[in-house]
Structure 1
Amino acid sequence: MTTYAALLRGINVGGHRKVPMAELRRLIEGLGHGDVRTHLQSGNAVFSAAGRNAAEATTESLAASLGRAIEEHFGFTVPVLVRDHAYLSAVVEDCPFPAAGLEGRQLHVTYLSEPVDAARFVALDRSTFLPDEFRIGDRALYLYVPDGLGRSRLAEALGRPALWRDTVATSRNWNTVTRLVEMTRD
């Protein structure tokens, strides 16, 4: 049995695209998954795939299935990424910033649907955003913002849709990143 985290992008923000967590849990259970739990109201769900579901599951197929179910049930499209415990743990282990010495609001991970290379960010003059910094990982972008996300010009620049062309990107603060590792531990 494998445990996964589903990361939903852009739900329950400003009263738009409302997805109550109790309904999301029931929806995931209805897809045949077990041990369904949610974390916060921002689109984090953990579930296990057992039996036939586990044998046929890939993170991509699980994300597609959940995305279709959400659209059918709620009537709008929600980009979904699904990641397993091994991947989530590797993201934490590979963090290029000193996470242990930082507050959760100072460090964020943007999970990506595909690998991206540094060429995508060549137009950003990183020195103009200091002390804010980012690093590219395995289908993840690490963002260090010492004064928090709300005050970060770099976060604003990285959030421009044109930068992500056809890539699903959804961000979580470090507290949520580490909590999802704990929740997906088999």
Structure 2
Amino acid sequence: MKFAAFFRNLNLGRPPAPTRTVLEAAFTEAGAVDPCSFLTNGTVVFEAGSPAKAARILKAAQATLRRDGFDEPAALRDVAGLAALVASDPLAGVEMDEVYAPCATFLIGTPADGVSLPSTNARGDMRVGDVRVVSWHDGILLSLTYKLGTSAGSPNAFVERTLDVPATTRVWNTVVRLVRKHAATPDP
């Protein structure tokens, strides 16, 4: 099975983040099969025999990285689940004319009991400032960001502030590209 680890605040080569070589070596040392850093944003794809094994690998890789000076959480998702999400085309029919970027935000951990995202805002469109929620399930928030003034919205800040758990965000196209490159394709 393939898994993707999405690290928070990891931009390869920018201190205190590790280099690509160090990041991949931490996963290899932890027992991952064929770890591969995807882009420069702190995403690692690797193989493991089960979700539990993948979680142990991530935890061990994080311990190695922490020892080397990088201490940030990461979300773990199976690539098959990401492929199913991409195949569902969750942004179909969404008006993109004014959108700065569609994003996927991965929760790292579970919100406290009773804490959840609001189902709607006062306008009824679930747009909070410069972030509009498209869907929310299985610890993944799909959202649209808008540019108000000189900066774009931050779904990561919105999720962390609202749910009080760490999260990490990728532009939706990064998830699509990851799936295209790493998901198993059925035989014709």
Bin for the TM-score computed over the shorter chain? 0.7 to 0.9
In structure 2, relative to structure 1, the CA distance for the partners of 1:155 and 1:19 (3 Å cut) is same
Structure 1 Cα separation of the partners of residues 38 and 102 of structure 2 = 18
The 3-state SS of whatever aligns with 2:31 is coil
Q: Could you tell me which of 104, 108, 114 is aligned with 1:113?
A: 108
Say whether residues 1:141 and 2:136 are aligned partners. Answer: no
Which protein has the bigger helix share?
1
**Which residue is 1:78 aligned to?**
72
C-alpha RMSD of the superposition: 3.6
Structure with the larger RCO, 1 or 2 (CA within 8 Å, 6+ apart)? 1
Contact 1:107 1:142 in 2 (8 A): yes
Aligned residue pairs, count: 177
Please list every run of at least 4 consecutive aligned residues from structure 1 whose deviation after the TM superposition is greater than 4 angstroms: 13-16, 99-105, 114-119, 128-132
Q: TM-score, normalised by structure 1?
A: 0.74
List alignment gaps of at least 5 residues for structure 2: none
Question: Map of 1:48-67 to 2, 5 A cutoff?
Answer: 48-49=47-48, 54=49, 57-67=52-62
**Which residue is 2:121 aligned to?**
125
Contact 2:156 2:169 in 1 (8 A): no
Contact 1:111 1:170 in 2 (8 A): yes
List alignment gaps of at least 5 residues for structure 1: none
In structure 2, relative to structure 1, the CA distance for the partners of 1:83 and 1:35 (3 Å cut) is same
